[in-house]
Amino acid sequence: MNLNMFDNIDGLVLRERENNLRRPTDSRPEYNGEMSPFPASTPLAMAYVPFQSWGDTMSPEEALDCGTLFSDLVFPFQEGGARR
């Protein structure tokens, strides 16, 4: 188990406070690529899915083969899988 992630706990707490202080005026996300992929407020013990932003897309041929159109989402789980 990697415990290094807790080394900079003060920095984490500080960032957490900053994040909580920022109040979004509009809950609808902006799509300018500058927004954080995470919600402005991230309470502890909750799981968060990063908000997707536009990136590279593949050809329809590759997309069907990879199971996604978006290059950022290509995660081939080949170990123990049935694929090829």
Partner 1 sequence: MNPQSLLMKKIMQYDFTLKELNLYLDTHPNCRRALAMFQKFRKLREDAVREYNEKFGPITPEQNINAQRWQWVDAPFPWEV
Q: Of residues 19, 39, 68, 74, which one binds partner 1 by CB under 8 A?
A: 68
Task: CB nearer to partner 1: give 13 or 29.
Answer: 29
Residues numbered 17 to 46 that lie near partner 1 (CB under 8 A) are 29, 31
Distance set, CA 53 to CA 22, 59, 64, 77 (Å): 21, 18, 20, 23
Q: Of residues 16, 42, 70, 74, which one binds partner 1 by CB under 8 A?
A: 70
**Cβ(29)–Cβ(39) below 8 Å:** no
| 56 lines the binding site for partner 1 (CB under 8 A) | no
